[in-house]
Structure 1
Amino acid sequence: MTKDVVALTERMPDTWTLLAGLLSGGPDTRLATVADGAVVQLTDADGRPLASVEAPMLVQVPGEVRRLLGLDADRPVWWTEVRAATTAKGGDRLAGTIATRLVTRLGGAVWPPAALVPDVGTPVRDVVAATPAAAQPAVDVLTDDVAVVIQDRPVIAMTAWLSETLRAVADSERALQLVTPPTARLSLPTRAVLSGLPNRWVVQDPGRGYFDGLSGAELRWENGSFTATGKLADGYAPPTPPTGRQLGVSVRTRHRATTDLLLGGALEEAWQRLTGTLPAGWGTAEPAGAPWSREELSTYVRERAEPTWLVVVGQPDRPAIATLRVSVTEGGVEEDMTLTVGHPEGGPEPAVTELPGLAAELAAHHGLVSLLAQQRHGRADLTVPCALEGPPEPVGFALGPGEVPEIGLTAARRAPSAGEPVQLGPASRAGMYYPLAEVGWGGFQELAQHLRATDGRGKPAEEGAGGANGPESTGP
């Protein structure tokens, strides 16, 4: 499996300290940079990679180290990823030696603890490289159709490496297939990437062979990729006992593009209403390293001037995680966010009663386009095991005041839902919230069909398209 090691150091690794760690391979090794200089590779004399070291990142957000690695860190740490080539004999020892040298000089800890090398004075000379599978340092096997990444971590997070690999794989029109042992769990950002074909989470179980971690479909390696056999893997079942519930909201907002636009307001409002706290931190990947700041987030997005994907995390004692995508469209600046809040069994109930008020606030002050709230049984720590989990059920849907005129206020008020629709704001600029907890996805589909079937005057779309005298009256 994987040969990933993380050095968690008290001080920032400087150039000379990193070089000292990279010299663990002995005098016959060479250095190269990839990923626009963000990754330093240790190679053999023929240029074949032995290990890769990512640029250190400062993690200032409490709880991120524990969430992803299971280690306590009571102060900010510098997180440096070291990944040995999976096919390199002795690569795990080399990665451990590099990380141990960093920690020895700078203080801190090595993950996994077993990778700590007692004696780092002697270079690791007997590492045998294999022909590289791909230019991306995280890819272990590359075929015409897929890029295979092999990892063994407690939580498979959307790290900078995995995010960059996903981008490169998509650019090459391949699928990403992530192979893990059955003990691994996915973070929600990673699950979102692997929840639909062609990407796939492949679980390698000595007793059951290969199977899809999200669907339980039995898999086999055939023609250069893992493909389904049409059978369900033996023993794929719901996790026991139940571990909690999750409340998720997916929100789209739209704003006028101005130089002083402050992003993240809708996300912050949803976070406060559903958790009672503010977000703890944000970043461009996991771990989220920077403390929460709408100002800094907005500056970062503005300087990129291109679609930007971000992850936002909650306080250690209040599990919550969100992804945020910001893009510029013809209509303005759009924010697409998905926030999920974890609730342990026996703890406070999911804040479903807050949803109409949240929708009203977003409609009045944050450019709400739409909101969909869902609830499901799942782990309260918001990680995803390779076991059958029940599907989410809708609990509420909302449209912003810019969308209701396209339907007509009267038609929007008469739309079917589990209870009386709630008007958001005055009639001159009204949004609508629809409770759905009692009607499920069938009720949501009925609601969606009703909203699509009317025009801005609340008439059926076929009638409204042609006016009172029929379709012919619309001609030139």
Structure 2
Amino acid sequence: MTKDVIALTPRMPDLPTLLAGLYAGGPDLGVSTTADGAVVQLCAPDGRPLVSVEAPILVQVPGETGRLLGHPVADGPVWWTEARASAAVPEAGRLAGSFAGRLATVLDGTVWPPEAATTDVVPVTTDFSAIPVPAASAPAVDVLTDSTAVVMQDRPLVAMTSWLSDALRTATAAGQALQIVTPLTARLTLPTRLALRGLPNRWVVQDPEHGYYDGLSGAVLHWKDGTFTPVRDTAGTTSVAEVFKTSPETGERQLLLTLRTRHPADTDLVLGGAVEAAFRHLTGSAPAGWSTAEPVNLPWSTRRLTDLARARAPRPSWLIAVGQPDRPALATLRVLRTAAGVEEDITLVLGYAEHETPPLHAVEPLAAELDAAHGLVTLLTALRSARGDLTVPARLEPPPLPMSFTLGHDEVRRTGRPPHGPAPVPLGVPAEPALHYPLGDGTDPRAWSTFGLLTQHLRASRSAVRP
């Protein structure tokens, strides 16, 4: 699998330092650029890329190196320079380690993983004539077929880096699936999990004893017709990998909020206020940072977030926000322009250790503020047993169980009050209140049935008002 090596330095790698790093393979290797100069590649004599180096990123958000790498660095901003080695060439991984090691030595930094660091010159002796030329021009893609772009990742935690984001965007535009192949021990960050949601994209887990399976559904997979697809018996049934079924109970939990807001599309609109309000109510502080990929590198700013979304409009924008290091909290935000205005689709997840109590008392006041000040359409709050660090293992995890559902006052006016379900708590102005429906304490599966009655009314009402 592909080897990723990251140099973490307190100073920005300048051109002479980068060139010194790229000399890791000696004078016989060449250098080229791709992605409009954002990626520098160390190339074999025949031109094929051996190591691809992304432009350094200044990570100004505390805790990101610890969250993504388990490799905390000293307080203060750090430059993150990631090198991705080709899976096809045996020496490429050591070349990436030498590149990163040289940067860290010159700039007083560190290397992840630490054992990869070296400053040795790595001679390349591979016979390239026996290795097919890679079909993909994208640095993140290891195998490309007519239907699928395959990315192989050999790292403990697979984040939605700009590498993967670009690969997903390119594959989607070409009508292809993105399939990420990892070892059995790998986990996904929440943004990666959400980005892979829905077929034909897959997380493919390689089990050394039993072959391949889908890390999100457990379906046993095999490589067929240029893609990973489920193995089916003569009746067309798909089996589930035994290793996927094991899910030890740890007592850790996650609080999940799924909400939508809607705003008039005017020049004074500032986005991100709903995300900030949710973080403040549930963690006690605003998000620490935001970005379009991981690592999350920019200090939190609703103004800068809005500027980026406005510059991309009418195309949608997909963004990530993270909390302070002392409380696992992460949100994804999708901003899209619709006929009704500007909408924000937000998923916020907070993690809690075994003996911690989620702040369930804060949900109703949060719903009231979202409705009064941030254009709330709907808010669903749920609780689940899952890892408190918010990472996703290749194991079966129980589904979330609903706790409450809130309809914003504008949505109540538009769709009417649902005739079925529990009695709601009115929020806001009595004449036009938002409706907050308690559904349970996050332990009763029957709450899904109650929630289904409410959403059935919404679907019917929305269908009735369509032209």
TM-score (norm 2): 0.92
Alpha carbons of 1:241 and 1:442: their partners in 2 closer, same or farther (altered >3 Å)? Answer: closer
Alpha carbons of 1:221 and 1:431: their partners in 2 closer, same or farther (altered >3 Å)? Answer: same
Equivalent position to 1:327, from 333, 336, 342: 336
Alpha carbons of 1:243 and 1:68: their partners in 2 closer, same or farther (altered >3 Å)? Answer: farther
**Match of 1:5?**
5
Shift in Å, 1:146: 0.9
Equivalent position to 1:298, from 306, 314, 323: 306
**Match of 2:321?**
312
2:307 and 2:455 mapped to 1: Cα distance? 37
**Match of 2:435?**
432
Give the root-mean-square deviation of aligned CA atoms.
2.0
Give the number of the structure whose alpha-carbon radius of gyration is greater.
Answer: 1
Alpha carbons of 1:219 and 1:353: their partners in 2 closer, same or farther (altered >3 Å)? Answer: same
1:363 aligns with 2:371: yes
Q: Describe the superposition over 1:7-48 as per-residue Cα deviations: whole angstroms up to 9, x where unpaired.
A: 111100112211221122322322222222211112223321
Residue identity matched to 2:324: Q
Greater alpha carbon shift after TM alignment, 437-446 vs 79-88: 437-446
Q: Describe the superposition over 1:136-189 as per-residue Cα deviations: whole angstroms up to 9, x where unpaired.
A: 101111111111111111211000100000000111111111111111110011
Task: Judge conservation of contact 1:32–1:43 (CA < 8 Å) in 2.
Answer: yes
Task: Judge conservation of contact 1:133–1:142 (CA < 8 Å) in 2.
Answer: yes
Alpha carbons of 1:138 and 1:274: their partners in 2 closer, same or farther (altered >3 Å)? Answer: same
Q: How does 1:53-452 map to 2 (within 5 A)?
A: 53-75=53-75, 76-117=77-118, 119-120=119-120, 122-126=121-125, 129=128, 130=131, 131-229=133-231, 230-305=238-313, 306-347=315-356, 349-408=357-416, 411-412=417-418, 414-417=419-422, 420-437=423-440, 439-452=446-459
Aligned residue for 2:11, secondary structure, equals coil
Task: Judge conservation of contact 2:94–2:122 (CA < 8 Å) in 1.
Answer: no
2:16 and 2:266 mapped to 1: Cα distance? 44
Residue identity matched to 1:269: A
Aligned residue for 1:389, secondary structure, equals coil
Task: Judge conservation of contact 2:243–2:395 (CA < 8 Å) in 1.
Answer: no
Shift in Å, 1:299: 2.6
Percent identical pairs in the alignment equals 55
Shift in Å, 1:123: 4.9
2:12 and 2:167 mapped to 1: Cα distance? 25
Shift in Å, 1:342: 0.4
Which residues of structure 2 form unaligned runs of 5+?
232-237
Aligned residue for 1:279, secondary structure, equals coil
**Match of 1:30?**
30
Q: Describe the superposition over 1:414-451 as per-residue Cα deviations: whole angstroms up to 9, x where unpaired.
A: 4413xx20122224432211122254222111122234
Alpha carbons of 1:428 and 1:25: their partners in 2 closer, same or farther (altered >3 Å)? Answer: same
2:460 and 2:216 mapped to 1: Cα distance? 35
Task: Judge conservation of contact 1:50–1:127 (CA < 8 Å) in 2.
Answer: no
2:420 and 2:281 mapped to 1: Cα distance? 26
1:171 and 1:235 mapped to 2: Cα distance? 34
Task: Judge conservation of contact 1:91–1:127 (CA < 8 Å) in 2.
Answer: no
2:460 and 2:88 mapped to 1: Cα distance? 57
Alpha carbons of 1:396 and 1:17: their partners in 2 closer, same or farther (altered >3 Å)? Answer: same
Alpha carbons of 1:6 and 1:455: their partners in 2 closer, same or farther (altered >3 Å)? Answer: closer
Residue identity matched to 1:154: P
Question: How many equivalent residue pairs?
Answer: 451
Task: Judge conservation of contact 2:91–2:122 (CA < 8 Å) in 1.
Answer: no
Residue identity matched to 1:247: L
Shift in Å, 1:298: 2.1
Task: Judge conservation of contact 1:68–1:154 (CA < 8 Å) in 2.
Answer: no
Aligned residue for 1:269, secondary structure, equals helix
Task: Judge conservation of contact 1:356–1:422 (CA < 8 Å) in 2.
Answer: no
Aligned residue for 1:429, secondary structure, equals coil
1:453 and 1:329 mapped to 2: Cα distance? 20
Q: Describe the superposition over 1:347-376 as per-residue Cα deviations: whole angstroms up to 9, x where unpaired.
A: 1x2222322221111111111111111211
Greater alpha carbon shift after TM alignment, 429-438 vs 268-277: 429-438
Residue identity matched to 2:20: A
Aligned residue for 1:192, secondary structure, equals helix
Task: Judge conservation of contact 1:343–1:350 (CA < 8 Å) in 2.
Answer: yes
Task: Judge conservation of contact 1:415–1:451 (CA < 8 Å) in 2.
Answer: no
2:272 and 2:244 mapped to 1: Cα distance? 39
